Amino acid sequence: MNIPKDASAIILLKDDKVLLAQRNPKISFLGGWHAFSGGKLDKSDAEIEIKNCKDIDLQQFIVCAVRELFEEVGVLLVRNGDKLTKGQRASLHDDLISGRSSFKEILDHWGLWIDAADFAYTGYWTTPQFSPVRFKTRFFIATCPPKQEPYEAITEMQNLEFIEPNEALQRWENGDILISPPVLISLQELSSTDKHRWTQIENDSKTEDQRPKTVSQKLLEKSTELDGNIDYLEVNSRNIVFPLKTPTLPPATHTNCFIVGKKRFVVIDAASADESEQAKLHKLIDELIECGGVCEEIIVSHLHNDHHGGEVALQKYLQAKHNLNVAISAHKLTAESLSNIKFDKFIEDGDVYNLQDETGKTFQLQTLHTRGHARGLLSFYDEELGFLISTDNVVGTGTVVIAPPEGNMQDYLDTLERLKNLPNLKHLCGSHGSAIFNAKAKIEEYISHRLEREK
């Protein structure tokens, strides 16, 4: 069992902005992604007592959030901390990182304490099952203490920035940054809530239920309603990645189903034969259709067993529930090998889908016939966003098997070379594991690794 590790994170506010930083691209878990400051719970976090804590279960998580914030970005969110100079804080940071002093020793020695009143709990989120590393992270909102500027205190976080939530969302929509679902939800709530409701409940004359909700209240409700689980990931405003349980090769356990587009969309690899997995996918597709979305096509990327199994069920479901006739398609070479599926259409290299985002704006998805792993394997590219769906050519978890008669090493190397040189390439997501921030570097890594093995 892949049990999630306890963790905490802080949504740190300053004026009308929120602190966002990029995780070091070298970190294996979500390297290069943008995130709030946060990290794993430490045993010692339970040894520190904090003031005014109404929920004792949260105490160690607040400590964890404060300690991680100090470690990662040098901000010391404690009471009585204003008597420390910048230089003193930096030297305490040194003591903590080098292990000369524990966090408790630092607080005790300098008469500092953590006050729970400075933090609003916004709920917890759990990394989905498909991830080899999982966290159950408690999120808190807090305000950056005056006269303290976050800095790159350790190499884990870089490009620190207080940013307006709207601007961060814009970057995500454009495919410039990658963020996890809890970060996305938090930014969306901040962006849609009046700034006066970001933190404290003001002392106005209205009674509690007359007041508009604060961001933390809204986020907490959402986390409670979903029990901290979000089954899918919105990589950008056009692409949803929905990992489905399949009989794939370990260490992978899931195959990514891609939904590209919102108002007009295609579904790539509705891969699971498992009915409960299919039901989750159908529910999300229902939501898209209820918002005015039209499913254009159901695509099978290639012949392997972990990439099909739910497409016919989806086709039938769309017919029965929404009275929609949706074609199932694949490359001809794939269709020839899968005689059990009735394909309505064949796809060739260079075919273009005209899809629509949430606002109804049309964009193009190019189809690439990428031989090497399987003769009929397809990949998909959105050049405007620079986002590549690399299917089984490049994956986030596990390795790509090149085995004859379907597999061909020279074809595979040619495919990788072609993918690497796609114009405007930024991020990619394969059929297994998470999206990759630096697509080109990842493909280059694959090429050199293969050439090395070939030798």
User: Rule CB under 5 A: which residues touch Zn ion?
Assistant: 304, 392
CA angle 205, 207, 210 (to 5 degrees): 105
Q: Tokens standing for 55?
A: 């929920």
Give whole-number Cα distances, 161 to 137, 208, 370, in Å: 22, 34, 39
Residue 264 or 304 with smaller CB distance to Zn ion = 304
Q: Which residue's beta carbon is nearest to the bound Zn ion?
A: 304
Least gap, CB of 16 to Zn ion (angstroms): 47
Parallel/antiparallel/unpaired status of strands 264-268 and 294-299? parallel
Q: How far is the CB of 301 from Zn ion (least distance, A)?
A: 8
- Minimum CB separation of residue 306 from Zn ion in Å reads 7
Nearest distance in Å: CB 24, Zn ion: 31
Task: Please tell me whether residue 12 adopts helix, strand or coil conformation.
Answer: strand
What is the smallest separation between the CB atom of 373 and Zn ion, expressed in angstroms? 6
Q: Which is nearer to Zn ion, 69 or 374 (CB)?
A: 374
- How many other C-beta atoms can be found within 10 angstroms of the C-beta atom of residue 279? 12
Q: Between residues 68 and 392, which has the closer beta carbon with respect to Zn ion?
A: 392
Residue 427: is it exposed, middle or buried by C-beta count within 10 angstroms (0-12/13-18/19+)? Answer: buried
- Cα 372 to Cα 413: distance, rounded to the nearest angstrom: 7
Q: Which of 73, 96, 98 is nearest to 22 (CA)?
A: 73
Q: Which is nearer to Zn ion, 107 or 374 (CB)?
A: 374
Residue among 9 and 300 whose Cβ is closer to Zn ion: 300
Backbone angles phi, psi at 70, to 5 degrees: -65, -45
Minimum distance from residue 124 beta carbon to Zn ion (Å) = 35
Q: Which residues are 8's β-sheet partners?
A: 39, 138
Nearer to Zn ion, 118 or 392 (CB): 392
Confirm if 328 and 271 have CB atoms less than 8 A apart: no
Nearer to Zn ion, 187 or 402 (CB): 402
In the complex, minimum distance from the CB of residue 420 to Zn ion, in angstroms, rounded to a whole number: 20
